[in-house]
Structure 1
Amino acid sequence: MKRALRLVLLLFPLALLLAAPTLGRAETKTALTWYGQSAFKLTTPSGKVLLIDPWIVNPVNKNGAQDLAALNKADLILITHGHGDHVGNAVEIAKKTGAKLVANYDLGRALVQYGGFPEKLAERSGLGFPGGELNLLDGEVKILLVPAVHSSVLEAAPGTPLAGKVVYAGTPIGFVISVKGGPTIYHTGDTDVFWDMSMIGNLNKIDLMLACIGGHFTMGPSRAALAVKLVHPAEVVPMHFGSNPLLTGTPKEFGAALAELPFDGPRPVVREMKVGETLLLSGR
């Protein structure tokens, strides 16, 4: 008995030493912050920062100016299409942080030629077309470009050719963002529901869907609920509503429409975010 006790006492420090790398180490999660409309900041477990449709200074974000001033770090800027409420403050942020552009190839060219976006930050590696998957930030994220049913034009900025004119800005898209060690997030961009959304859900296990619900220019609550049924994510955040009087869809209406639909398997959870709120996310 004494010999066994001595053996345990000898081996216990070794066991602690082997376990030390994992003791007290908290899991680092992916953070998602909503700025209103379709604007999000995604921070990966390693600290890389992605901004999506960064209209930071918008009517529903009371702290927009302060939030924009505080954005001192960004690695990638993802833009779904050329409308002003999605390009937003992208040019200013890119010039300030050196963040590289991720967008439809044609939108990238238009932003450089007519939008004032720094050409050196609009590399071919970050530009593509629907169906293309971009492996970025040394494998930290993979970004799949997927279709959206909408339009995409850009108003040429002062000091650029065709200033004040509207120019073509490629086809609209959404993004499926897969974070290494984190979740897979589908940002729909501006869109109506379309049948191929089922393929997005079938080919990608979506942890979180960011779905436009405002109506008028995009799908409203009922059609957005159908889109969620096709994609079947684990969770869904409603976005793109309330920023102007025409976007009348509400999260309450969306949640009610979703509750009426039958689902095979677990029902997606609606997570209604407040402007400025941050969610901590894990992968499935």
Structure 2
Amino acid sequence: MNFTFFGHACFSVNFGDTTILFDPFISPNSLAKEVDMAAIKADYIFVSHGHGDHVADLIALAKQTQATVVSNFEIIDWVTKQGYEKVHPMNFGTKTFDFGKVHFVPAAHSSALPDGSYGGNPGGFLIKTREGSFYYTGDTSLTAEFTMIPKYGSPDFAIMPIGGNFTMDVDDAVIAAEMIGCKQIVGVHYDTFGYIVINKDAAQAAFQASGATLLLPKIGETITVK
């Protein structure tokens, strides 16, 4: 699978003929100013929750890519009110799409949309495909919900916030990785704001000490994750 990082918690995963974009937040992010948004392609856009640093470019990129937007019911309702109707609403549960199976699972966070309306329950996505499986936790604190993930199967890799303050920090993410039984973690949601700046070398060392690997691709970089 190919993972492309667009900064903060925005990334895409490409597998087979499918590309899924997650939590589009690029244009307001000064660290991502070199990203060419016009070149971004996606078949689906998955949204973990409604905060502005996860949906700022959602409508623009949905219209550009003509992707199907997948999220909780309340966010999908907001998306349709913005004039975009190629959507699929979910709540916590399981759905089989043409590319594989999606488990929409709880995250311990909050959610409100940019206009102040209710953003529904924040969540994460465990995605199983013919090419492998991966888990995006969404914005979350360390939570007992992670103990449920192995019931669905062990993801080949997981994408987790590591910046602390609003979400898990590095130490919490190390524990979360152990809870879900995953040794390959891609870190997101760090360095964008002063509250969440981290020491990247120390973060990778902490994961290494636990027997796991923390991948920190540069903004705009594509890596292969197996």
Normalised TM-score (structure 1): 0.74
Provide the aligned C-alpha RMSD in A. Answer: 1.7
Quote how far apart the aligned CAs of 1:281 are: 3.2
Matches within 5 A, 1:42-121: 42-46=13-17, 48-57=18-27, 58-64=29-35, 66=36, 68-71=37-40, 73-113=41-81, 116-118=82-84, 120-121=85-86
**In structure 2, what is the equivalent of residue 245 of structure 1?**
194
CA distance in structure 1 between the partners assigned to 2:201 and 2:107 by the alignment: 24
Deviations 1:227-278 (A, max 9, x none): 11111213111110000111123433333333454xxxxx322222111111
Deviations 1:69-89 (A, max 9, x none): 112x32111000000111121
CA distance in structure 1 between the partners assigned to 2:152 and 2:127 by the alignment: 13
Tell me whether 1:258 sits opposite 2:207 in the alignment.
Answer: yes
Which SS does the other structure have where 1:85 is aligned? helix
Of 158, 164, 171, which aligns to 2:121?
Answer: 171
Tell me whether 1:145 sits opposite 2:104 in the alignment.
Answer: yes
**In structure 2, what is the equivalent of residue 41 of structure 1?**
12
Equivalent residue letter for 2:39 = A
Quote how far apart the aligned CAs of 1:61 are: 1.4
Could you tell me which runs of 5 or more consecutive residues in structure 2 were left unpaired when the two chains were aligned: none
Could you tell me which runs of 5 or more consecutive residues in structure 1 were left unpaired when the two chains were aligned: 1-29, 157-165, 262-266
CA 1:205/1:231 → structure 2, altered by over 3 Å: closer, same or farther? same
Matches within 5 A, 1:187-226: 187-226=136-175
Larger Rg: 1
**In structure 1, what is the equivalent of residue 214 of structure 2?**
270
Normalised TM-score (structure 2): 0.92
Q: For the Cα contact (< 8 Å) 2:177–2:183, is it kept in 1?
A: no
Equivalent residue letter for 1:112 = T
CA distance in structure 2 between the partners assigned to 1:69 and 1:259 by the alignment: 37
Q: For the Cα contact (< 8 Å) 2:2–2:222, is it kept in 1?
A: yes
CA 1:117/1:87 → structure 2, altered by over 3 Å: closer, same or farther? farther
CA distance in structure 1 between the partners assigned to 2:133 and 2:201 by the alignment: 25
Which SS does the other structure have where 1:50 is aligned? strand
Deviations 1:22-81 (A, max 9, x none): xxxxxxxx21101111111111212x22101121322221313x2x1112x321110000
Structure number having the greater strand percentage:
2
More relative contact order in 1 or in 2 (CA 8 Å, sep 6+)? 2
CA distance in structure 2 between the partners assigned to 1:54 and 1:147 by the alignment: 20
Which shows bigger deviation, 233-242 or 269-278?
Answer: 269-278
* Percent of pairs with identical residues: 30
How many residues are matched?
A: 225
